[in-house]
Amino acid sequence: MSAIVLKNLCKNFGEVKAVHCLDLQIKDGDFLTLLGPSGCGKTTTLRCLSGLEEPDTGEIFIGERCVFSSTRGINILPGQRNLGLVFQNYALWPHMKVAQNISFGLRKAKLQKSVVEQKMAQILKTVGLEGLADRYPHELSGGQQQRVAVARMVITEPAIFLFDEPLSNLDAKLRMRLRSELKRLHLDLGATTVYVTHDQIEAMALSDQIVVMREGVIQQAGSPYEVYHFPANLFVADFMGNPETNLLAGEIRRREGSLAVSLNDYPGAVIPLTNPEKLREGLKVVVNIRPEDIEISRTADTGALRCKVYTTQPMGSEVIIHLRAAENKPGIVVKNPEEHCLGLGPEMTVAVHFKRGNLLDAGSGKLIASFGF
């Protein structure tokens, strides 16, 4: 087990700045996820850490040991960094059986055959592949191949686990199940884990810490709760959440003596401000409100924002409702429990109530205040 430190890491591919001056510290035993859209530099960062890619500048420490330093000319080979990696496509060697794939990494250790067999049996049991040791990878299902890849990584007992989108090639149901197994594996073995994904739900479900990246630069690092509820900027707010969050343009105005937000497209909306001291009149803002933080009701209390239902999409336990105040105006997405929405249909008028959200500076995109929390 080891902590990881990345200092001022840069990696360019030609003109493209894949990773730009990245600083990151990962606590010993933590599960950290690098999250972002494709091309944001998350995989490059992981590959630099593993040693498969060579950064242009910067330093990398694993535990006390410096494994890469551009100024001191250190570049430890991947095999000597004491880490394991599960690739997106699993990278199982197609010409080797499951047992050979898993034990390949042990051949350097020169262990006795019985020890290897014992380890193998144990690993196969851990990942639930008993009886499949003599199969070739192509004779396995996607989920089983993924388990082989995990077993191959785990058997050498590395201090660090690296995962490069390990679940993205699987169907939705299997992904859920293996997600839970990966989390349990981390709990049981306690190795420091760096996990790369573009799937925000996966990131939230697994991580102690999420690092959201964009164009090679870290946008926000924090716990899943922080990243989801207090996005540091517009990009993070927009990237997190499914269905996508509501970003409504507005302005701080003085109303009946105190400051309040007035929305450009929804003049009737009322957004209470709990701590208005940091705000000043006339500031242009973007209001970020998660769909589940909006409540709708058919009994209209006076003064509430009123919208027409555009469509309803029942999802089982919840219903996603698209609302519109008028033609040509951006809609509002609402996610409410099913029992709340029975009998709701298009063209019905509902009252809308914003429970909580954030205010982001329309100019810089940065988080400036929150309300309702």
Binding mask 254-293 for other proteins (x = CB under 8 A): ----------------------------------------
Measured over the CA atoms of residue 254, residue 259, residue 265 and residue 268, the dihedral's sign is: negative
What 3-state DSSP class applies to 154? helix
The footprint of other proteins on this chain (CB under 8 A) covers a number of residues equal to 30
Contact 36, 213 (CB under 8 A): yes
Instruction: State the minimum distance, in angstroms, from the CB of residue 292 to other proteins.
Output: 39
Binding mask 78-117 for other proteins (x = CB under 8 A): xxx--xxx-xxx-xxxxx--------xx--x---------
* Candidate segments 48-56, 165-173, 211-219, 267-275, binder of other proteins by CB under 8 A: 48-56
Tokens 């496509």, residue located: 89
Binding residues for other proteins restricted to 55-74, rule: CB under 8 A: 70, 72-73
Tokens 């926000």, residue located: 220
Kindly list the distances between the CA atom of residue 331 and the CA atoms of 15, 247, 323, 365, in Å, as whole numbers in the listed order. 39, 10, 5, 21
Which residue among 2, 44, 45, 50 contacts other proteins (CB under 8 A)? 50
* Candidate segments 46-54, 124-132, 259-267, 293-301, binder of other proteins by CB under 8 A: 46-54
- Which of residues 95 and 280 has its CB atom nearest to other proteins in the complex? 95
Tokens 């973007």, residue located: 286
Instruction: Give bridge partners of residue 67 from the DSSP assignment.
Output: none
Instruction: State the minimum distance, in angstroms, from the CB of residue 76 to other proteins.
Output: 10
Provide the pairing of β-strand 192-197 with 31-35.
parallel
Instruction: State the minimum distance, in angstroms, from the CB of residue 263 to other proteins.
Output: 45
- Residue 28's CB is within 10 A of a number of other CB atoms, namely 13
Binding residues for other proteins restricted to 6-35, rule: CB under 8 A: 13-14
**DSSP class of 7:** E
Largest CA distance in the chain: 82
Does position 137 interact with other proteins (CB under 8 A)? The reply is no
Instruction: State the minimum distance, in angstroms, from the CB of residue 73 to other proteins.
Output: 3
Instruction: State the minimum distance, in angstroms, from the CB of residue 150 to other proteins.
Output: 13
d(CA 120, CA 153): 12
Tokens 């990245």, residue located: 22
Does position 225 interact with other proteins (CB under 8 A)? The reply is no
- Residue 25's CB is within 10 A of a number of other CB atoms, namely 14
- Which of residues 49 and 332 has its CB atom nearest to other proteins in the complex? 49
Instruction: Enter the tokens of residue 46.
Output: 């992981």
Under the rule (CB under 8 A), what is the footprint of other proteins? Answer: 13-14, 50-52, 54, 70, 72-73, 75, 77-80, 83-85, 87-89, 91-95, 104-105, 108, 152, 156
